[in-house]
Amino acid sequence: MNIRDIIEKISYDALTILIPEKQTIMMYRVSKEIHNYLQSVKLGIHVKISKISNKFPDISILLNKLEELNKNTLIRSISFTGYHFEGVTGEAIIKELFNDSQFTNCLEANSRYTSHVCTVSFGSSNSTMTSLDFSYNKLDANARHTIAKALCVNTTLKVLVFRNIELEKSRGYEIINALCNNKTITSLDIGWNNVYATENYYTDADYEVVMNIKKYLIAIANMIKENSTIVKLNLDSNNIGEYEIHEFAKALCVNTTITNLNLSKNNLKENGIQKIAKALYLNTTISTLKLSNNWSGEKGALAIADALRVNTTLTSVDLSHNYFRRNSFSSEIGIITIADALRVNKTITELDLEHNKIGLNGALELSKVLHVNKTLKILSLEHNKLRENGARAIAEALYVNTTLKVLNLSNNKFEKYGVDAIVDALRNNNTIISLDLGCNDLSKNEKKQVSNALRENHTLTELFV
């Protein structure tokens, strides 16, 4: 099979050109023919440049490959993994990628690089590159400053990813500030950038770092308030503090573009969740919200419930790993109140309540909701200690519910009789297409019996036991 036949079988978005350091020449020879074909049919490619070792390869080799790629085809996106963009090397490659009017046409004067002339124009007005990923790279202050300047004038990028690059430290806030007035980027992922910074993580000697973190978090809040194009924003694992979450909440009250927001793993706790919940009273655009792993507790659950009663835009909500109950003896009022809110809410179609210790009373309340709710299609109750009686409660609802399509009940210690109750209900249910009953203490023989029993159900297409 020749290259043309292979490419015709590959979807546009799936095509990735790899340039590992040790296979550069080999991959170049193969990819040149591929690029010629792509150019003839006017398609674009996604380039992934990966590296495991800590040292940057000869920059002239890397830039030559990028230049050849750009000559032979349209580059839609570039993803760098595992590089250290530091010093003149890092600044040079970033200037090559953006190459706008503020930057020179060749590399900095350096005996190692003067033989190479920069002609790649990814950042110009004629650029076709719409996605750039610098995740898991070390960007020094100069590199960040260079990126910030480029973002001020770039008019083609739509997707920008800066995961796990310690953006919160030296001059990272400059990049965020540059996005306040950017008019093209619609998807921004800056997750996992302040993950280790807890309240006592830094000492007095780290004053400059602490101030940079505050500037970084406030810059994000300002960006949410001022940017008018970002639709998808991922802020997971940024350890947003109490003061900063107040600023975030105020920004969300006035933002009119973000529809998909991820605030998972931010240590928001009850106070932070309450502030976000209040913002949901006024926000009219967010449809997908992830708040998992924030230790919202009982008070946070109550605040979210109040917001769900009045919000009319949320369709997908992730509240997993929030421990509405601290232990099995704590009050179940949090989940009971959320269940009650779902009686009123008419927009939520997907709800994740994993790892919240909702217990039997929580299951009973959710059962009552599933009897009457007409919008919920996807529900996850994994790892909530529902046990046999909880399974029976959910089963009762499945006899009459006609909208739920995906249900995750794994790891709830149902044992045989609890699972049997679910199976009996699904003999009559004709809407659920995916069911997860895994990790519920069934023997191999009992799992086989469940599988055999559910053969009578003609709508179920996925079953996990």
- Output phi, psi for 135, to 5 deg: -60, 150
pLDDT at 272 over 80: yes
Q: Closest Cα partner for 165 from 132, 197, 192?
A: 192
Report the distance separating Cα 78 and Cα 48, nearest Å. Answer: 6
- Regarding pTM above 0.85, the answer is no
Cα gap 305→286, rounded to integer Å: 16
Pick the residue with more confidence: 260 or 30?
260
427-440 core/surface letters (b: 16 or more CB in 10 A; e: else): eebeebbebbbbbb
Q: Measure the CA–CA gap between 366 and 390, rounded to whole angstroms.
A: 10
| Identity of the amino acid at 228 | S
- Residue 147 confidence class, pLDDT cut points 50, 70, 90: confident
Q: What is the pLDDT of residue 368?
A: 95
Percent pLDDT > 90 in the chain is: 46
Task: Give per-residue pLDDT as tens, 352-387.
Answer: 999 998 888 899 999 999 999 999 999 999 999 899
Burial class (CB within 10 angstroms; exposed 0-12, middle 13-18, buried 19+) of 444: exposed
